[in-house]
A and B are shown apart, each in its own frame.
Chain A
Amino acid sequence: MPIRCPQISLSAPEGGEGRGEVGEIQASPDCIAHLTLPVADATGPLPLPPQAGGEGKLGGYRPTRRWILVAAAGGGLASLAPKATATEAAMADAIRELIGEAPLERGKVKLELPSIVENGNAVPLTVSIESPMTEADHVDSVHIFNQKNPQPYVAAFHLRPRAGTARVSTRIRLADSQRVVAIARLNDGSFWSDSADVIVTLAACTDQ
Chain B
Amino acid sequence: MRRLFGVALALVATIAVAAEIAPEARRSGYGFASAETRVTQDDDTANPGMLWVSQGEGLWTKKAGAAGLSCRDCHGDAQASMSNVAARYPAFDAALGRPIDLEQRINLCRTEHQRAEPLTWESEDLLALTGFVAHQSRGLPIAVDDNPELRPFSALGDELFHRREGQLNLSCSQCHDDNWGKRLAGSVIPQGHPTGYPVYRLEWQSVGSLQRRLRNCMTGVRAEPYEYGAPDAVALELYLMERARGMTIETPAVRP
Interface residues of A (CB under 8 A from B): 114, 116-119, 121-124, 171, 201-208
Decide yes or no whether B4 CB sits under 8 A from chain A. Answer: yes
Closest CB-CB distance, B37 to chain A, in whole Å? 6
Q: A201-B187, A203-B256 are in contact. List 7 more A-B contacts (CB 8 A).
A: A117-B34, A118-B37, A118-B187, A202-B187, A203-B203, A205-B219, A206-B216
Given contacts A121-B203, A122-B202, A124-B39, contact A203 B187 (CB under 8 A): yes
Binary A-proximity of B197-232 (CB < 8 A = 1, otherwise 0): 000001111000000100111011000000000000
Given contacts A202-B186, A204-B220, A208-B219, contact A121 B205 (CB under 8 A): yes
Decide yes or no whether B160 CB sits under 8 A from chain A. Answer: no
Contact indicator A205/B220 (Cβ below 8 Å): yes
For the complex, give the distance between the alpha carbons of A203 and B189 in Å: 10
Contact indicator B220/A122 (Cβ below 8 Å): no
For the complex, give the distance between the alpha carbons of A202 and B48 in Å: 20
For the complex, give the distance between the alpha carbons of A117 and B188 in Å: 12
Contact indicator A118/B256 (Cβ below 8 Å): yes
Contact indicator A204/B202 (Cβ below 8 Å): no
Contact indicator A205/B217 (Cβ below 8 Å): yes
Looking across the interface, which residue of chain A has its beta carbon closest to that of B205?
A: A121
For the complex, give the distance between the alpha carbons of A171 and B256 in Å: 14
For the complex, give the distance between the alpha carbons of A117 and B202 in Å: 11
CB-contacts of B145-187 with A (<8 A):
184-187
Closest CB-CB distance, B185 to chain A, in whole Å? 4
For the complex, give the distance between the alpha carbons of A55 and B39 in Å: 49
Closest CB-CB distance, B158 to chain A, in whole Å? 21
For the complex, give the distance between the alpha carbons of A66 and B69 in Å: 69
Contact indicator B186/A206 (Cβ below 8 Å): no
Interface residues of B (CB under 8 A from A): 1, 3-4, 33-37, 39-40, 48, 184-188, 202-205, 212, 215-217, 219-220, 256
Chain A residue numbers with a CB within 8 Å of B3 are 202
Partner of B4, one of A114, A118, A171, A204: A204
Chain B residue numbers with a CB within 8 Å of A124 are 36, 39-40
Closest CB-CB distance, A196 to chain B, in whole Å? 13
For the complex, give the distance between the alpha carbons of A204 and B188 in Å: 9
Closest CB-CB distance, A170 to chain B, in whole Å? 10
Looking across the interface, which residue of chain A has its beta carbon closest to that of B221?
A: A205
Chain B residue numbers with a CB within 8 Å of A202 are 3, 185-187
Given contacts A118-B34, A121-B205, A122-B202, contact A206 B185 (CB under 8 A): no
Closest CB-CB distance, A201 to chain B, in whole Å? 3
Contact indicator A122/B205 (Cβ below 8 Å): yes
For the complex, give the distance between the alpha carbons of A202 and B39 in Å: 20
For the complex, give the distance between the alpha carbons of A205 and B208 in Å: 14
Chain B residue numbers with a CB within 8 Å of A118 are 33-34, 37, 187-188, 202, 256
The 4 A-B pairs with the shortest beta carbon distances in the complex, nearest first, are A201-B186, A205-B220, A118-B256, A119-B202
Contact indicator A206/B220 (Cβ below 8 Å): yes
Given contacts A114-B34, A121-B202, contact A204 B40 (CB under 8 A): no
Please, could you name 23 A-B residue pairs with CB atoms under 8 Å apart, sorted by A? A114-B36, A117-B34, A117-B36, A118-B33, A118-B34, A118-B37, A118-B187, A118-B202, A118-B256, A119-B256, A121-B202, A122-B48, A122-B202, A201-B187, A203-B187, A204-B4, A204-B220, A205-B184, A205-B216, A205-B217, A205-B220, A206-B220, A207-B215
Partner of B187, one of A171, A204, A207: A204
For the complex, give the distance between the alpha carbons of A177 and B121 in Å: 34
Given contacts A114-B34, A117-B34, A201-B186, contact A206 B203 (CB under 8 A): yes
Closest CB-CB distance, A123 to chain B, in whole Å? 8
Chain B residue numbers with a CB within 8 Å of A201 are 185-187
For the complex, give the distance between the alpha carbons of A116 and B188 in Å: 13
Contact indicator B39/A207 (Cβ below 8 Å): no
Chain B residue numbers with a CB within 8 Å of A206 are 203, 216, 219-220
Contact indicator A204/B205 (Cβ below 8 Å): no
Chain B residue numbers with a CB within 8 Å of A123 are 36
Contact indicator B219/A207 (Cβ below 8 Å): yes
